[in-house]
Structure 1
Amino acid sequence: MEDLEVSKKLEDNIRKISGILPVQESFDIIQRNMEIGGRKGTFYFIDGFTKDESMLKIMDSFFHIKPEDMPDDATAFAEKNVPYVEVDILGNFDEIVKNILSGVTCLFIEGYEACVAIDCRTYPARSVEEPEKDKSLRGSRDGFVETIVFNTALMRRRIRDENLIMEMSEVGKSTRTDVAICYMADRVDQEMLQNIRKKLADIHVDDLRMNQQSLAEALFKRKWFNPFPKFKFTERPDTAAACLLEGKIIFLVDNSPSALVVPTSIFDMIEEANDHYFPPITNIYLKVSRAIITVLTIFVVPLFLLLMQNPQWVPKAFDFVVVRDTVNVPLIYQILILELAIDGLRLAALNTPSMLSTPLSVIAGIVMGEFSVQSGWFNSEVMLYMAFVSVANYTQPNFELGYALKFMRLLLLILTAVFNLVGFVIGCVIVIWCICVNKTLSGKSYLNVKLP
């Protein structure tokens, strides 16, 4: 556009807005003309983003303004004649268009070389309720929603401290997605904060189509061969508040009902909301139990396969673990088929209507369990260990970490099946190497993130 500044002539401003926004083509971009204090005025707003009651009261007050009450500039008009809290004066069309598309009502008045932006917007939002996955036995029952302002308010409600800072920025040329960086100024690592600010400012993407996941990928270019997650996601405001008080940084992205936490170690990944609500001894027991089960999900099935390939290594006290039944399908193929079948059942459960999920799960369990063993495809011992692994994956709340552990287990299984003990040892070394060399967003170790 040739001139980005607002003109005193209303016709020029209308022409510029019409040249930028498809006012005539889009039914939801509303232009409302009215007379205010003897001068011509024009409102621009998005239908569905404006609070009707607030706008009716504001417009009613404008009808009662007399010509002699009209000041000489937009700033004085906003201070004297706009009966609303959130009012801003904009003189640049780029800012004006961004505000209109964000839901802010913009008012142009003949003779004013600026636009009056009235932020009486409201976004369609669901109620604040507990997340489906990240539940707590004794904690609060609220959770983040898709509106960023609601999410910041949920954390402000818990931390009434002047050191809680929430910086707002935009990412994405087309989407202009609002991203809030939340931190405690007296507890955060300042070097890491500056590094994150620089990374955020250097992001040049067209859009954040997948919200936080797109932001995470833009912030940190992960190595494709290392599946361990770099970030922790939580839908609970109490967990996010606890992370802030520990000195961590929280990213909130508009249209996303979860918070992105950095920096994150593997110990943070296996932590859940219930850990904050129990006494220390119970908390420690739950964390240790979860850590042990997490390790077992990686090693128990490959170790079973290794012992079945070398039954002479099994101590007499554990002789009962040896497969006695006829093995029609090699054990490695049985395990790999079940790994794929478990993911198939999980995907089917996600797309099954809730009223049918329970009966279909029972049918699938009976068919996959009983009849598959009787038909000779699988041995009961393999079914037992794979059932343990599939259930144990749900002991830790991080979905990405669950699949990272699965990939490590598959690697161990294949190496063990091909190279026997040497393959098992090499697989263990690779698993430990992937964890040790994984770096967080701050560049520190994945195993130990030191906070101030």
Structure 2
Amino acid sequence: MEGFILSEYLDYPDERIALKPRETEYTPSDEGSESCDAKDGKERISRNLDENRERLVELMGYEESFDVLFREMTYGENRAAFLHLNAFTNDEILTEIITRLTYLGNDGYGAEGALKPESMQVFLERYIPLVSVTPETNMLKVVDAVLAGNTAFLMDGEDTALLLDVKVFPQRSPDEPSTEKVVRGSKDGFIETLVTNVALIRRRIRDPKLRMEIMSVSERTKTDVCMGYIKDIANPVLVEMIRDRIQDLQVDGVPLADKQLEEGIVGKGWNPFPLVRYTERPDVAASHLLEGHVVVLVDTSPSVMIIPTTFFDHVQHAEEHRQTPFVGTYLRWVRFLGIFVSLFILPLWFLFTLRPELLPEGLGYIGPDEKGQLPLLLQFIFAEVGVDLMRMAAVHTPTPIATAMGLVAAVLIGDIAVHTGLFINEVILYMAIAALGMFATPSYELGLANRMVRLVLLIAVALFEVPGFVVGTALIMLLLITQRTYGVPYFWPFIPFNGPGLMTTLFRRPFLSNKTRPSITKPLQYQKMPRQ
């Protein structure tokens, strides 16, 4: 990909990001320098099993960490050992391998019990009944593999270890995501195990062109990150760019998984709007892969990142595609209306309260009949904070108690606040409507961002009234219009305007009439279906 520029490929000249050529790992030859030989000597596995055991004390805390096991055995006249972590090992499979090796005769051994040069190869090909076995001569890579859950088989007199894939991780079943439920459709969702999440996508896309590239991120956590794309659909420049950003990320660790990785490879700073779409549904991830997007899966996270994304990707839901086109379009418009109302109903009502002369004829009833003891702006702020407190309390409270707590908070606190004169009825009413619109937003991150926008508009109206509302709205729109994610305009298809994309955004089109992929991803295959 050397020489390609993403902005030129995507026709957005204001964001020029040149791709650097990928670096290949250099393997020193036998005639290398002394420094290379010394480094290689420190990293290579020793032929002495006792030396390897002593090195493991320093490399991974053997004898200090109770879960690091070094199980020594004797086969024939030669000592061997299994190095593994107790919590990540499938005991039944490993016991079966050990049992099989105990029946080993003198095959692969000399007359005096000495190992033949090809003995480890004999173990690899004949005596270890396992599908995934990999030879490795680098001790540091062996340690990394063991920390990732593999088991290393070492033998005295051999400088090669066999990495046995007998790992098992604690995991839950693929239950339906709590934030993306549908009435019709599949009920399985991503979990915290990377291999299971990849299998859920593979189950839906049985395309040999589907690629799942694995990478390790950070120095200490060494988190497994998988980048998925369809090779003959996804933009190769986009794929290369995301790959390079993941590989170039130099951090100490990413214990919070996908969120920290997102900030590392997207770098949106203090921008409240989400530039990456998260999904916990395998069918949603598969649909975006078929449209030319790239998905990023992070081990220990039940969410998958979809790149690139636009503002309108965050307001679509799988339920729309589980109904007829007419009903799906209706549901989409209701959701659009709810999001619009959640953004502007409170600032507009507040503005009309401050400037009642702006109200058209017939709407003179809008506005409070009496004022509360607190200023309207404080009432709005306290109501916003109160809704957030109830939401956080519901998240951290067991479900049966949370239901009762929500009823108490909604009825008693709201009713008492009105009767005591602290709040007025209209504030509670419009705050409830705005909260419904926020909760109807499919993207949780976008819902929180819209709440911040609403607070900014309320403060702007309180300070500057009409100019504050106009300028505040214009600045927010300018932020959305100028924002880009991997060269893709965030407010597409409105700006830049794209007619077919706009129709697809506003209407849930019938499946057979949707024959093209979104042009914003610049897919290699624009046609979705064969021409008839």
TM-score, with structure 2 as normaliser: 0.82
* Alpha-carbon distance, 1:97 to partner: 0.3
Count of residues in correspondence between the two structures: 450
- Alignment of 1:198 onto 2:268: no
Residue of structure 2 aligned with 1:446, choices 483, 490, 493: 490
- Alignment of 1:38 onto 2:61: no
* Alpha-carbon distance, 1:245 to partner: 1.1
> Counterparts in 2 of 1:148-297, with a 5 A limit?
148-224=194-270, 226-297=271-342
Residue equivalent to 1:93: 139
Residue equivalent to 1:109: 155
**Separation in structure 2 between the aligned mates of residue 206 and residue 399 of structure 1, nearest angstrom:** 28
**Separation in structure 1 between the aligned mates of residue 167 and residue 133 of structure 2, nearest angstrom:** 12
- Alignment of 1:340 onto 2:379: no
Residue equivalent to 1:308: 353
- Alignment of 1:65 onto 2:107: no
* Alpha-carbon distance, 1:279 to partner: 2.0
Paired residue type of 1:450 = I
8 Å CA contact 1:38, 1:66 repeated in 2: no
8 Å CA contact 2:393, 2:402 repeated in 1: no
**Separation in structure 2 between the aligned mates of residue 72 and residue 292 of structure 1, nearest angstrom:** 74
Residue of structure 2 aligned with 1:353, choices 385, 398, 401: 398
**Separation in structure 2 between the aligned mates of residue 371 and residue 68 of structure 1, nearest angstrom:** 86
Alpha-carbon RMSD across the aligned residues, in angstroms, is 1.4
CA deviation map 1:18-49 (0-9, x unaligned):
33121111111011111123311011110021
- Alignment of 1:427 onto 2:472: yes
* Alpha-carbon distance, 1:322 to partner: 2.4
Task: Provide the secondary structure at the position in 1 that maps to 2:70.
Answer: strand
> Counterparts in 2 of 1:127-166, with a 5 A limit?
127-166=173-212
Residue equivalent to 2:58: 19
**Separation in structure 1 between the aligned mates of residue 107 and residue 359 of structure 2, nearest angstrom:** 98
* Alpha-carbon distance, 1:387 to partner: 0.6
8 Å CA contact 2:184, 2:319 repeated in 1: yes
**Separation in structure 2 between the aligned mates of residue 152 and residue 220 of structure 1, nearest angstrom:** 23
Q: Post-superposition, which runs of at least 4 consecutive aligned residues in structure 1 deviate over 4 A? A: none
Residue equivalent to 1:298: 343
- Alignment of 1:318 onto 2:363: yes
Unaligned segments of structure 1, at least 5 residues = none
8 Å CA contact 1:37, 1:68 repeated in 2: no
CA deviation map 1:130-175 (0-9, x unaligned):
1112111101011111110011001111110101100000001000
Paired residue type of 2:297 = L
* Alpha-carbon distance, 1:355 to partner: 2.0
Paired residue type of 2:456 = L
**Cα gap change, 1:66/1:298 in structure 2, threshold over 3 Å: closer, same or farther?**
same
**Separation in structure 2 between the aligned mates of residue 415 and residue 336 of structure 1, nearest angstrom:** 13
Unaligned segments of structure 2, at least 5 residues = 1-38, 110-115, 493-518, 524-532
**Separation in structure 1 between the aligned mates of residue 298 and residue 121 of structure 2, nearest angstrom:** 32
Task: Provide the secondary structure at the position in 1 that maps to 2:278.
Answer: strand
Residue of structure 1 aligned with 2:92, choices 53, 71, 74: 53
**Separation in structure 1 between the aligned mates of residue 154 and residue 395 of structure 2, nearest angstrom:** 50
8 Å CA contact 2:101, 2:127 repeated in 1: yes
8 Å CA contact 1:228, 1:438 repeated in 2: no
